[in-house]
Structure 1
Amino acid sequence: METSDCQTIGKKGVLKMDEFVNSSVPHEEIYQMLFENTKDIMLFHDVNGYISYISPSVEFITGYKADELLGFKWKKIIHHKDGLSFDGADLQNFLSVLVSSSGAKYRFLKKDSDQWISLEVVKSRVVYNNDQDISGVMILFRDVTEIEKYQDTLIKAKERAEISDRLKGAFLTNISHEVRTPLNAIMGFSHILCFDGEDPIKRKEYLDIVINAGKTLVKMMDDIITLSNIQSGNIVVSQNPVDVDCFLKEILSSYKDNEKNLSLRIALDPAITQLALLDNLKLKQIFTNLVSNSIKFTETGYIEIGCKLLNSGLCFWVKDTGMGIPLEKHDVIFDRFTYINDDTHIKYGGVGLGLSVCKELVSLLDGTIWFESEPGCGTTFWFTLPHEIYDIVDTSTSENVSLKNKKILIVEDNPMNLKLLEHIVRSTKATIFKAENASQALSLFKKESFDLILLDIMLPDKSGYEIVEEIRKENSHIPIIAQTAYADLYHKETCLKKGFTDYLTKPISHDDLLKVIFTYV
């Protein structure tokens, strides 16, 4: 403010407040200046509740000009649940309640909008006329809409954090139990199998238990990693041509020896005669979770998986004749750590992530998942996925062909994993070379001409990425297969970009390894 602007107030230039108030300027003008320049809303209403003054700031906050609100009852312009009632019988009591309501909040509907503004009473006082009769009430309102929104955001963030903490607590409790259960079977029966005196039939039974317990752990870890990657945004869609018929048969083949001897069915739309472009890894994880649940909760009857062609894409389903889902669980069945009831959780176990993973994956693939269920009669889960059609090509492999004259290099620093890979590869009759670190691997590569290299990513002296980079400088055609404990698609894409030909995730199955070998050799 320039000095000249203050000369209308006093000759001293800018005045302090007490000097200003004690100056020759009439108090009415002082109040008028304050009222007209405040950012808050100053309102006066008479004893009948009619607005006789409201400051110009009301237009900036509410959209109404001051003149538009004069003569209105203030109760009429705020939310009907926020106003005090007055029938004229006890004016003094009504005004005392109103004046003592400092901090009270009122909702005001913004002009030409459905947005409610929150106004907080900063100060209020009863006004008397010269005869000391009550003439009305003066109220100072402050717009706290944005503050309330911020507070609401903080409250919701706090609630989310508390829910997250509870979920983490539930997760840790559940995961401890669910990991120890299969581990107990693996360690216990592995110890028994160390002794030669067991009956061969019993040995086979115990081996099956160990294998199934291992599969349970792998599935559990896959679900946990998938949810973690989805939450962090560290997951991508990788589509490949898929033979739907072969895919469904492969899914059910994993469950053909189920202990309950349930009938397993496939229903395929005959209109599906070509390859579909789908993310087969995510699709397999969805089906694995749904079929595993169906088998878990079905004692007699059948499990059916199927696919039909829609105009918008493919519709898959998993149907069972199990116990069904109670009506009260329909709205939360896809939530994490949700169980049908405590009894089923105790009986069947599980971390409670499977259906949540399915929903997240289907959503990631731009699909929709839903279910139909009747307690005691069974459940059908449906999900749709968009797809493109590809012409069918011959994808068969010749797993019975001997690789007697072929050379395969296995690079693995873990002795157990090395022995396992060597055992599986030996069945191909190929000549096997072994390396436990990068130095040995590169030395062998310079001496021999290999037909395929199985290369671990994490090695003590160099990473698999560094090794493959050096190999590609001299040989851009040799198939190099990454083998790693990283199970997410981000690492798979990284491997392919760095120069690997294909990718296998630990634990590596016998069939998957042989399929890759016969594909590239």
Structure 2
Amino acid sequence: MQAHIHRLLDRYRGLPADRLLEQPVMLAFFVCIILANLVLFLLLSQPFAFENALWLAFASVSLTGLAHTFFQWTLQRTTHLLLAQTYALLLYSIWVTGGLFSSSTMWMMILPVPAVYLLGWRESLRWVVLVQLTLLALVPLTEHGWLPVSYVYGPRHVWWSLGNHVFTAISLLGGLMVYQRIYNHQLNEITRRNKELSANRAALLQAESYKDQFLASVSHELRTPMNAILGFNDVIRAELQTAGHSLQTVDLVRESTEHLLKLVNQILDFTQIQAGRLQLQPAPTRLADAFAECTQTYARQTHDPVQFHAQLDPSLPEWVMTDAKRLKEVLCHLLDNAFKFTPSGVVNLAIRKDGERMLFEVQDSGVGIADAQQTFIFNRFEHADLQTHTRFGGTGLGLAICKGLVQLFDGDIGLHSEANVGSRFWFRIPLHPCDAPTPPSFTAPQTHHGLRFTLLLVDDNPVNLKVAELMCKQLWPTARVQSVNSGEACLQWLQTHHVDLVLMDLVMPGMDGLETTRAIRQSVAPLSDLTVIGLTASSHPQDHAACLQAGMNDVLLKPLGRDQLQRGVQAQLMRQGATDA
């Protein structure tokens, strides 16, 4: 029995999901209607001699339909068989009981109704047309008395006629009621499943949010020790360079750390893009400068097997409004891939004007990408193939980040590649020419060793404090450098000591950098005018905006380099009029 049920379900497996329950139940209902009417009519006194045989034939049809449905045939074939046999029996009944005068025409009129429920509108139209043509054909046959048998209806036919009308109405209304029950059941089931899907979706989104928060947190935590590594590396490098020692080992340490930092930045950028929290910061950008920053890095890396060529279209405007940092990030990702997958050959970079857009092209003669992989290559964690991933490595996030950043620029990105021939990656972004920015009213000092000022470092991490202290003492030997490990200690120090500039970490227990800065700004002059530079590992624009809103004069991004620290501090000292000794 169980095997028969499984075979029955298999036959319905190809039906639409919303009809899997409806159609088998409706078929069984209509067969039961035939059997029920058979029993009711048998209980009535039959005015015609052939009635018992006719209803036994209906019973045979019903049982045959059930047998075919349960054991062998598809629902569609079984339904057509039942309708055809029922049509033949009804036509015979009408034929011998007066044609259009027969009350059996009521059953003929509702014959297409099961077809609507079981076969759909398109198939049921065939039965509607057949029934209407049959009734039209009976008009002249009944009108001219061409039927083989003539019946004169009398009192003995009343109950039979009434039974046809009543049972027809009950059958029709019963079908509608059963269908409504099935519909309500399916609607409730769909509603329940939708709620389950909504709950699952919410859980997945929550899990995705936790994952993004975890990755962002891990990325932030990784930046802290790397800040120390790079900082100590700069200090050691400066000491060794002064002493005339070789810098090769120190440079290798820095190169490895910068590579690790690059991976961390990729993870952080990807999580921010996925969460929709990454925003562009357009500013006037000199294309030639941005172009030079990209090309000079790779020109220095080029060795004999790989030739690097770069071309900037002279028809492009000198200044454009764009986010130079993110633009260079996309170019660097594409150039990194080009050099990685080109053991020998040529890498070309071209920037051209394309109507109202800028077109960037990176072309190489490397290993290329198979056609089957090109559709998915911009998805996260995708590689050309397993062999390529094993040979060249990588996180699989670079091109996904490129696509996300280009979309933020309101641009498009694509590629053309042939395996073992090379690849051409391109992207286009809107071109927004602009005027050159107004130059600052001060110039950076040519020397920094003679500056005398007092600098206060605020950070809860003792390693970061030591790195910043060593850097500052190397950059400004005559400056007085002090350090505290909390926001509360910073405020206490400022009450009793004169300070020219504060380097303030953002994330600290107790009072964080933002709260401490607000407290400084709410104090009385001249303390309220103290220069405060924020230090943060977050590159999110909202965090930088929060620093400026809290009253900080500038924000420097960790890991902190010597050049970055020197430019940031001296720019603020020049603004406040620090004097050279």
Name the TM tier (shorter chain).
0.5 to 0.7
User: Displacement of 1:463 after TM fit?
Assistant: 1.0
Measure the CA separation in 2 of the matches of 1:156 and 1:206.
56
Q: Deviations over 1:53-76 (max 9, x none)?
A: xxxxxxxxxxxxxxxxxxxxxxxx
Corresponding residue number in structure 2 for 1:505 = 557
Q: Which range is displaced more, 323-332 or 419-428?
A: 419-428
Choose the corresponding residue for 2:272, options 209, 229, 237.
Answer: 229
What aligned pairs does 1:230-309 form with structure 2 within 5 A after superposition? 230-258=273-301, 260=303, 262-309=306-353
The answer as to whether partners of 2:302 and 2:308 remain within 8 angstroms in 1 is no
CA shift in 2, pair 1:471/1:205, >3 Å: same
Choose the corresponding residue for 2:464, options 394, 410, 417.
Answer: 417
TM-score, length-scaled by structure 1 = 0.63
The answer as to whether partners of 1:406 and 1:451 remain within 8 angstroms in 2 is no
What aligned pairs does 1:236-385 form with structure 2 within 5 A after superposition? 236-258=279-301, 260=303, 262-385=306-429
Q: Which range is displaced more, 153-162 or 499-508?
A: 153-162
Q: Which amino acid aligns with 1:86?
A: H
Q: Which of these two proteins has the greater Rg computed from alpha carbons?
A: 2
Corresponding residue number in structure 1 for 2:80 = 86
Measure the CA separation in 1 of the matches of 2:200 and 2:119.
26
More strand by share: 1
CA shift in 2, pair 1:163/1:330, >3 Å: farther
Corresponding residue number in structure 2 for 1:480 = 532
Measure the CA separation in 2 of the matches of 1:349 and 1:164.
31
Measure the CA separation in 1 of the matches of 2:192 and 2:358.
44
The answer as to whether partners of 1:82 and 1:107 remain within 8 angstroms in 2 is no
Measure the CA separation in 2 of the matches of 1:401 and 1:107.
88
User: Displacement of 1:247 after TM fit?
Assistant: 1.3
Identity %: 26
Corresponding residue number in structure 1 for 2:257 = 214
Q: Which amino acid aligns with 2:550?
A: K
CA shift in 2, pair 1:275/1:82, >3 Å: farther
Q: Deviations over 1:230-267 (max 9, x none)?
A: 33333333222222211122223444443755434332
Q: Which range is displaced more, 203-212 or 410-419?
A: 203-212
The answer as to whether partners of 2:358 and 2:430 remain within 8 angstroms in 1 is yes
Which blocks of at least 5 consecutive residues in structure 1 are unaligned?
A: 1-41, 48-80, 110-128, 194-199
User: Displacement of 1:509 after TM fit?
Assistant: 2.5
CA shift in 2, pair 1:250/1:419, >3 Å: farther
CA shift in 2, pair 1:415/1:327, >3 Å: same
Q: Which range is displaced more, 350-359 or 504-513?
A: 504-513
The answer as to whether partners of 1:271 and 1:309 remain within 8 angstroms in 2 is yes
What aligned pairs does 1:115-126 form with structure 2 within 5 A after superposition? none
Which of structures 1 and 2 has the larger relative contact order (alpha carbons within 8 angstroms, sep 6+)?
2
Q: Secondary structure at the match of 1:369?
A: strand
More helix by share: 2
CA shift in 2, pair 1:446/1:268, >3 Å: farther
User: Displacement of 1:94 after TM fit?
Assistant: 13
Measure the CA separation in 1 of the matches of 2:118 and 2:268.
47
CA shift in 2, pair 1:401/1:205, >3 Å: closer
Corresponding residue number in structure 2 for 1:493 = 545
Q: Which amino acid aligns with 1:495?
A: C
Q: Deviations over 1:407-436 (max 9, x none)?
A: 233323323222322333322445142212
Q: Secondary structure at the match of 2:420?
A: coil
Which blocks of at least 5 consecutive residues in structure 2 are unaligned?
A: 1-25, 32-73, 90-110, 123-161, 237-242, 574-581
TM-score, length-scaled by structure 2 = 0.57
User: Displacement of 1:352 after TM fit?
Assistant: 1.1
Measure the CA separation in 2 of the matches of 1:239 and 1:295.
29
Q: Deviations over 1:453-496 (max 9, x none)?
A: 32111234421112211222435655422112223222122112
User: Displacement of 1:92 after TM fit?
Assistant: 7.5
The answer as to whether partners of 1:399 and 1:515 remain within 8 angstroms in 2 is no
